[in-house]
Chain A
């Protein structure tokens, strides 16, 4: 999976520690995983590889670089757009804390 990662960040201790002017691009210090009530789970046997889910995910958390699609659960918000848009219903929204298997 090739997705941006959270970096370790030490909060400033005094005013002088705050950046003036430019700051680091692509700087992530916190995951968004806590937003999720349901998580998308891809059934790779059903998936026909159309990449619709990859295309329409507002958060870009579906990675297509590997053999199978992979979801970056650190940043998936569980919106369900991917599952709704999948024509062959290969994505199920599973309640967090519950098992994906039937």
Chain B
């Protein structure tokens, strides 16, 4: 088991444990999985419910994981992870990790009950939510983590509605409210921070949860080479944040001195291109309210 935290590319193994997958070129979710697997290493059991990542890595006769991996029922990621962990323990196995990679839909909507149960049991499992902000694998439907103003096939922007009309469900704090041992938000736009958080999760003796923003050029509508850049801009403009929850305390890891332009970030994406100034004000208002709470209540 890794004792030293992995925080940069130099310390990261050259070996790949998630390879040859069929994700779209430049897919942010696949980068999130690839980096997590590199930190966790060859003795890692993987469970993935129905989502883009399972669709692109289990195409018989291909399997892109070089470690034990399986597709779980959509709603059951947390329960399946607990089961794998119980099995490994019963076999007396040592030095292994159990990780799940569920999408935003699979986490904040359909898998939330199983996740809640797993955290409550305190099993030594790592739950990674890769958040591409919609049900992408089935063609961009709105999830509980789709942000306000995002046009999806089930929240189309038009004369009457600006796209999705709700803010993102606050999954990180919902998880933290379980008094989980370790939870963190991350973004593939800040890969070193993400590596560090995955390695902290790997060292955690109980349940851990990482919520990583994973831009999707197909669903968001931006040029494919900008995937990592979009993940960075989301943080820089304050619509996403890098934080940890540990020992019952929230800590902000990155405090932007000044937000970068929120309009720039939004207008780069087809899903937001229709937004009016009024919509922008709604988004800005929500962002500022959230940051006020962070400033007031968290260690910053």
Contact = CB atoms under 8 A, between A and B. Distances in A.
Chains A and B belong together in one complex: yes
Contacts of A28: 19-20, 62, 64
Given A58-B34, A79-B26, A79-B225, A2 B62 contact: no
Contacts of B20: 4, 6, 28, 30-32, 75
A94 to B, nearest CB: 14
Contacts, number: 107
Given A25-B65, A59-B30, A80 B225 contact: yes
Given A35-B25, A60-B34, A75-B19, A24 B229 contact: no
Interface string B19-40: 1111101111011001100100
Interface stretch (B9-17, B87-95, B148-156, B236-244): B9-17
Given A55-B12, A58-B28, A80-B225, A25 B61 contact: no
> B interface, by DSSP: helix, strand, loop or mixed?
loop
Interface stretch (B66-74, B160-168, B197-205): B66-74
Given A78-B25, A80-B224, A56 B31 contact: yes
Given A28-B20, A58-B34, A65-B14, A83 B61 contact: no
B63 interface: yes
> A interface, by DSSP: helix, strand, loop or mixed?
loop
Q: Which interface residue of B18, B62, B67, B191 has the most chain A CB atoms within 10 A?
A: B62
Given A77-B25, A77-B26, A84-B229, A23 B16 contact: no
A80 B17 CA distance: 22
Interface of A: 2-4, 6, 9, 11, 23-32, 35, 50-52, 54-60, 63-65, 75, 77-81, 83-85
Interface of B: 8-10, 12, 14-23, 25-28, 30-31, 34-35, 38, 60-69, 188, 191-192, 224-229
25 contacts: A4-B16, A4-B19, A9-B61, A26-B63, A26-B66, A28-B19, A28-B20, A28-B64, A29-B62, A31-B20, A32-B22, A35-B25, A51-B8, A51-B10, A55-B12, A58-B30, A59-B19, A59-B21, A59-B30, A64-B9, A65-B14, A75-B20, A77-B25, A81-B26, A81-B227
Given A26-B19, A60-B34, 17 more contacts: A25-B65, A25-B68, A26-B63, A26-B65, A27-B61, A27-B62, A30-B20, A51-B9, A51-B10, A55-B12, A58-B25, A59-B19, A59-B21, A64-B14, A81-B227, A84-B228, A85-B228
